[in-house]
Structure 1
Amino acid sequence: MIELEIERVAHGGVFVARHDGRVVFVADAIPGERVAARVSDQGKERFWRAETVEVLEASPDRREHVWSEASVDRAPERRAGGAEFGHIRIERQRELKGEVLREALSRMAGLEVAVEVAPVDPALAPGASLDDGTGWRTRMRLHVGADGRVGPYAARSHTIVPVASVPLAVPELAALSPLGDRFPGASAIDLVAPSVGDPAIVMASVERMPRGVRPTIEERVGDRTFRLDRDGFWQVHRGAAATLTRAVQELIDGDLFDPRAANHDLYGGVGLLAAAVGDRFGETVRITTVESDARATEHAGANLAEWLGARAVTARVDRYLAELLSDGAAERAGLRDATIVLDPPRAGAGREVVERLAELRPRQLVYVACDPVAFARDVGLFRERGYELDALRAVDLFPNTHHVEAVARLRAIV
């Protein structure tokens, strides 16, 4: 056991302290606190990892954890994972997330940017609590142990923790959660609460399910409905899809937008952000959504059917861009007038995609990011290739966790 003075927040939901000159990444703490911590990983020469076991001097931002099963009062191996900021006052959570994003942009992109993480507009997320950051998750996975009992994994492990509550879930999922039941033979229990229709429990078998007709659901965003596979990707926060739709629409610079250009929605899923572009600029807008998942692309084609200039392509984004570059000057000329929306996975777009986009030279990029470090790295790569960060918004789409969503506009510098 060691005593530590917590200095600052780090990426990944942990906090930085020092012990005998060595950096220690500490869970379940807050900057300014003094804690007793148990070192859980001494395998690195440069740093250790540790878990708070007792708060010796508490921050004024500390509160009772919103999830009792994740509280510091429990032994670290018995703390439910998935709410690593739940012990922090909600306003301070947002400040800490802003610090992580700001520091990443400074270190990896050479930018000094003021970052304010905004809450989700309560009108877009009925039932969710802005005061304590609960009641927002519409999708949740509970794991099943060898004895058939269900629960989340413990923080930073694959140990299943039985729980009696799931406070981050929307109320209809919390009521449906089979927390006291047993499911022998299953590997996990998925719970889904779409915005259209009833919530559902889906049991995942240890063995691979046979191919067949996959159940679908519908999600409504404003006046528009999207169809997707029940186990397909959709934003987790009840208000996230509408929030990102609004942010993308507002961050596209209308003076730079050409509806006849080869506009694209990369990593497009079932067409949510392509539809956002179409709804702002009209049914004749030309836009192509690119997604590697064939089922999602199939749904995107149907979801975007009313736009005459819309099409959905199944392809990996890096390979698709390589093909565009090989098509010659005519296609590339259309892209030079284009707006590109991209919403890559947590790992970000990466060097190869950034290089190809920069070579195609679209007028503006609207980048939706769920990982601040991957986003900052990509912004740095774009800056090296003649794009500048022109606008930035950050939204707290994952309250009580360390995750934060950012939407940015990058403009080609002539």
Structure 2
Amino acid sequence: MKRYLPYWSYYAHQGMVSALTMQGVVGYFRHAGADLAQLSWLSLAMLPWVGKFLWAPWCERHARPLRGNRYLGSLVALQLCMAAVIACIGLLPPARAAGAIVAALTLLSLLSASHGIYANGIAICTTDARSRPLANVAQVGGSYLGIPLGSFVFLAITEHAGWRYGFAAIAALSLLLAIPPLLIRQPMQATPAGSARPRLRWRDLRGIGPALALTAVYLVAMRGLMALQTVLLVDAGLGLSALGEVVTIYSTVASGVGIALGGWAMRRFGPWRCVLPVMLSFPLIAGVLAAGYPRFGVREWTLAFGAVNVAAAIGFVTLYNVLMGLTRPHQPASDYALFQSTDMAVAMLMSMAVLRVSDVTGYRPVLALLAALAVASLWPAIRLCRRLARPAAAAPPPAVHEPSLETSHG
């Protein structure tokens, strides 16, 4: 199990950076009095995650090797750069430099998105069909473990020590999370001579078009619910420390339950048999939140969003396992970046839409719309799953991309 520790480290760092932008900084400014329409602009800081497929082939072609891993040198260099940017953001005054903060967070997101390209390449190329479910658990679990670092740790330190020290703490954690990948080797074979070089060719996208469509529709409603989580809990009366504690519980206990259930179901039934049953829970959850809105207090909303996090974690584990099996052998990191760009485009658009519409109409109509959207997305998802699962079931198991499944220490 020690061989999976670097995966946890890669994705905990990504979860921490994303949570810092979308929960930590959002929670700070909402508590300071910013309205929902203003906060919606922070979603633009995630634009690099939407567009990272554009430069993913370049990143894959120019990856720098380290310790027998052709992606690791670039990943570590990017992580060091992110630690420096995080520390610099803490030097900006939040009351007078909102534009500069958004720009710096966008730069941080650009570095994190590129970091994710290499992390995904390592995860795909150092696992096979047998070991991939546990790598997916580490991928989703690590992301969720990073959330309290970017939200609870940041908010708690910021509330007691100030903005600058909150960012300094996150920068220090960024450096610490670079240690496990340097200690535990994850060797992989070099790219075979004469193999096709990673390229972004628009004519080639038709082959993975159904996978892109499934990525877009699968979690669309849950992305909207998760965008409302922080602001709705603040409006329900939670302070910064209490909000950080609740988010920590979501990202550890609730999401841990979802990750464990998703990992068990995939190993027991296979990912394709789990996709649609998991998706059926999404309209049910959104409908309960819309119906219960007039009667819910802080306690009820805390429990309700706990259920949202359990269902979302199961959905992420299932979807990511399916997508890893749909990448092309000569450019796995680039294809997976395209899938993630699609997912993040949906997340960013849903975040901006639900916050701006909620600012005008209130939360209940938006919750009802999300429930209807979850129902409407079932039909295309069923058709896409049938189309994608047939060749997946007929194809032989994917080749192993690594010389050994054992890790060694340097």
Query: Would you say same fold, with TM above 0.5?
Result: no
Higher relative contact order (CA 8 A, sep 6+): 2
Q: Between Structure 1 and Structure 2, whose CA radius of gyration is higher?
A: 1
TM-score normalised per structure 2: 0.23
Structure showing the higher helix proportion among its residues: 2
TM-score normalised per structure 1: 0.23
